[in-house]
A and B are shown apart, each in its own frame.
Chain A
Amino acid sequence: MPRLSYRRALTRALADELARDEAVFLLGEDIQVGASLVTTGLAKRFGVDRVRDTPLSEQAFTSFATGAALAGLRPVIEFQIPSLLFLVFEQIVNHAHKFPLMTGGQCAVPVTYLVPGSGSRTGWAGQHSDHPYSLFAHVGVVTVVPATPADAYGLLVSAIRHDDPVVVFAPAGAMDVRDDVSDLEPVPLGRGRIHRFGDDVTVVAVGHLVHDALAVAEELADQVSVEVFDPRTLYPFDIDGLTESVARTGRLVVLDDANRSCGIAAEIIASVVERVRLLAPPRRVTRPDGAVLPFAPALDRAVQPSREQLATAIHLTMKDSS
């Protein structure tokens, strides 16, 4: 089986959709050369009209994409930095997201916002290391955070084909993950995936943290049987899939590389406890409240959720219910 990196899976998804549908085109900064190493080769293959380098005008090109979508195209925007989403939150939320309802169903805005390298990139510090996916879940924009190459491919393809705006976070921590991939296919939005079955506790892990959760589950295998649930899409969330898992295990721990207050971990826990009576209080392992990632590598790591914290949370959850 061929081994495919997460980054190349994104490239493959873009190439396949550009080839499949004339309406698809890419917009972004330095994408013709492929500075993010995701759009590599696409300008040569599909032409600079469909792989368009933009000036540094995030707000204008984000709404440009909205206009192009209103006129029937399917733009994909690559953002160089996750925090650029703060600049264009207005354009995505107030316009792209609200147009279908505000026009009474007269239009669709199928734009994909791709953020390769979200979260910490070690050494890039405060303004390059955010993971603002909860904001988009909060406003109701479809939000996906693939963990594996196959899911990166399949979710990006589905995002591009989806008739509403979709934000795709490709965590820096997952970009170099490689996997044996036999056939690549679209992955449905809004459906989670159980990576590892277990009996005692369900760990929900977001994005690259799925790999950490799997490692911790292996480490603890002789003490506790851990199930690892990867939501893949944060909004709409596969609450049915997760409920099924937690109903079996009775315990819940969420691992989320984002700030704690109003983070997606809080929403996941609330949604589960509305439906399932747990054997122990749920726990979450997240970045601290209001975290700004500090520069020094040790500090950067200290703010991100760790495997040790996850192991501790699992042990405490088991203890609380014994």
Chain B
Amino acid sequence: MTDADPVRLYRTVRLIRRFEQRAVELVHGGQIVGGIHPYLGQEGIAAGVCAALGTDDVLAGTHRGHGHVLARGADPARMFAELCGRLTGLNAGRGGSMHAADLSIGVLGANAIVGASGAIITGAVWARRRQGHDTVGVSFFGDGAVNEGMLLEAFNLAALWRVPVLFVCENNGYATTMPVAGAVAGSIAGRAAAFGIRAVEVDGQDPEAVRDAAAAAVDRMRAGGGPELIEARTYRFDAHHTFEHAVRLDYRPPDEVTRGRARDPVHIQGERLSDADRAAVDAEVEATVDAAVRFALDSPEPDPADALTYLYASGMTARTGGG
């Protein structure tokens, strides 16, 4: 099921890159309120992992979640519309950047609570397999999440019940401003090993390396193996969150940032394409992103009278708050 096409992989990486750059502009322009956690620099991980998935598979992401949603194939126009709080957004403007979800393609949502996705995905995969699907799942999380008890409990549960979940740790070196060395005793792979979960480290800046590691893990999981973990070493090119664009926080040495940015997944994958292919993809992505932004900005805003529509799936309604 793995998509081995380098051009499509490049396209996904490039799409996420341009999406995120435009999203940052929309934050600065005031069209996206509340800011975003840019996925810039980490695009190869979502793109590589999702290239190894089939249509029955599910994933859940993080606060830095746009890349996962896009790599899985969500409509960039509806994704932009969601970030802009429009009615046409994936979540009808109720979720925003940190909760974008598209259940129709197995995206159980970005999730703003660090370490939360592992257990949710484990339950979803177990349930789908019980219903006869050959589903595997992916739980994306950052290096900060490996110190959350909830995630470690999920490792145990997935391993104990042999639920095929690929735990993908995007180790970008920092949890907000906290370096990994200041937060992680032992190692990330070691946490997996403690639960009997096979773990590999990959170069998260190389989309094909990520894809190959994910494909191998997915193959083993589909063959009946238990969960696995990939630690993808990466670097975030931009701020933890766009609020940092206004408030400069001093925690990453400038030469480290320069070195980190030098290993760019867009270029690493782009080099693998002919100039003509690359130019064609770039032009197509540009047109897609342009149209997507236009769609979002032209879309209607939700009616404040409907603010709590969808609160209850059962159709229950809540008392209003006015006197």
Contacts and interface: CB of A to CB of B under 8 A. Distances in A.
Contacts of A75: 123
A99 B123 CA distance: 15
Interface string A109-122: 11000000000000
A270 B247 CA distance: 44
B127 A68 contact: yes
Given A94-B116, A102-B95, A102-B99, A67 B122 contact: yes
Contacts of B116: 63, 91, 94-95
B311 A140 contact: yes
Interface in A205-264: 236
Q: Which of A57, A163, A164 has the most CB of B within 10 A?
A: A57
Q: Which of A67, A75, A109, A162 has the most chain B CB atoms closer than 10 A to its own CB? A: A67
A64 B156 CA distance: 12
B157 A103 contact: no
A60 B124 contact: no
A71 B157 contact: no
Interface string A34-74: 00000000000000010000110101111111111111110
A67 B310 contact: no
B127 A104 contact: no
A104 B157 contact: no
B160 A106 contact: no
Contacts of A298: none
B113 A94 contact: yes
Report, as a range, how many residues of chain B touch the other chain.
35 or more
A71 B163 CA distance: 14
Nearest to B154: A60
Given A60-B153, A63-B150, A67-B119, A164 B94 contact: no
A66 B93 CA distance: 22
B297 interface: no
Given A70-B108, A102-B91, A164 B314 contact: yes
Given A73-B130, A94-B113, A63 B92 contact: no
Contacts of B125: 67, 71
Nearest to B311: A101
Contact of B123 (A66, A90, A107): A66
Contacts of A57: 153, 156-157
A100 B156 contact: no
A164 B108 CA distance: 17
A60 B99 contact: no
Nearest to A59: B150
Nearest to A166: B314
Contacts of B316: 142, 164, 190, 236
A17 B89 CA distance: 37
Given A59-B119, A72-B131, A105 B124 contact: no
B122 A106 contact: no
Contacts of B318: 140, 236
A280 B90 CA distance: 52
B120 A70 contact: yes
Contacts of A190: 316
A108 interface: yes
Contacts of A163: 312-315
B310 A104 contact: yes
A70 B135 CA distance: 14
A14 B198 CA distance: 38
A103 B113 contact: no
A270 to B, nearest CB: 12
Nearest to A61: B157
Given A63-B116, A100-B310, A164-B314, A71 B101 contact: no
A255 B200 CA distance: 58
Contact of A63 (B102, B103, B120, B310): B120
B141 interface: no
| Most chain A CB within a 10 A radius of its CB, from B108, B149, B156, B315 | B108
B103 A106 contact: yes
B101 A59 contact: no
Nearest to B139: A67
Contact of B314 (A61, A103, A107, A162): A162
Given A102-B91, A103-B94, A164-B316, A71 B123 contact: yes
B103 A68 contact: no
A103 B123 contact: no
B126 interface: yes
B313 A107 contact: yes
B119 A64 contact: yes
A60 B150 contact: yes
A96 B194 CA distance: 29
B101 A63 contact: no
Given A59-B153, A60-B156, A66-B123, A100 B109 contact: no
A94 B63 CA distance: 14
A101 B157 contact: no
A90 B114 CA distance: 12
A164 B121 contact: no
A127 B119 CA distance: 26
B124 A164 contact: no
B157 A55 contact: yes
B128 interface: yes
Interface of B: 58, 89-95, 99, 101-104, 108-109, 111, 113, 116, 118-128, 130-131, 149-150, 153-154, 156-157, 160, 308-316, 318-319
19 contacts: A60-B157, A67-B122, A68-B123, A70-B108, A70-B127, A71-B128, A91-B116, A95-B111, A95-B120, A100-B311, A103-B95, A103-B99, A104-B93, A104-B310, A108-B313, A142-B316, A163-B315, A236-B316, A236-B318
Q: Which 3 A-B pairs have the closest CB atoms?
A: A67-B123, A104-B92, A60-B153
